[in-house]
Amino acid sequence: MEILLWVIIVALFLLSIAGIFLPVLPDTVLLWGGFLLYHFFVAGPGEGLPASFWWGMVVLSILMYGADLLTNMYFVKRYGGSKWSSFAAVVGIILGIFIFPPFGMIILPFVLVVVVELLQNQPIERAVKAGVGSLIGFLSSAVVKVVIQIAMIIWFFLAI
């Protein structure tokens, strides 16, 4: 039975990493599922994960949720987008998850940023440049999330 539980835990970890690129998979929830499965069903009484592990996972989970939004806002602004474009990028990520996963998270922020910039009478070149910033933001957030998830998984194995 324990071998089956370990197979499920590892599968949850792998699915969580896939969830970065397939937003229909809740990456953070899958990670936590693996942690909780170990803590309650594999570890013996008194052998569960320490409180410091759980607090660290809370902090890293919050960072993962913020990675998409913050990196997108940062890169849109860095590539010449306005405050409204930064907001449009965040709205695009959120709507893109539901409208056309997984590509909606990439395409919709780009389109919304370009449209917002054009509505503000910006030249097409500047609007597209800001839109490219949203694409770079998405890719950067994916890298950040992979690094955070790998750190969480390594921490898990060190804690057990």
The per-residue pLDDT for 154 is 97
Across the range 72-100, mean pLDDT stands at: 86
Banded pLDDT at 13 (limits 50, 70, 90): very high
pLDDT at 101 over 90: no
Domain that holds residue 89: 2-159
Q: How far is CA 67 from CA 40, 116, 138, in A?
A: 29, 22, 9
Q: What is the distance between the alpha carbons of residues 110 and 136, in angstroms, rounded to a whole number?
A: 10
Banded pLDDT at 24 (limits 50, 70, 90): confident
pLDDT at 63 over 80: yes
- pTM (predicted TM-score): 0.81
The per-residue pLDDT for 155 is 98
Higher pLDDT, 46 or 154: 154
For the chain, what is the domain count? 1
pLDDT at 99 over 90: no
pLDDT at 21 over 80: no
The per-residue pLDDT for 4 is 96
Write down the mean pLDDT value for the chain: 90
pLDDT at 70 over 90: no
Angle at which helix 124-159 crosses helix 51-78, to 10 degrees, equals: 170
The per-residue pLDDT for 105 is 82
Across the range 86-114, mean pLDDT stands at: 86
The per-residue pLDDT for 59 is 96
CB 104 within 8 A of CB 95: yes
Higher pLDDT, 138 or 156: 156
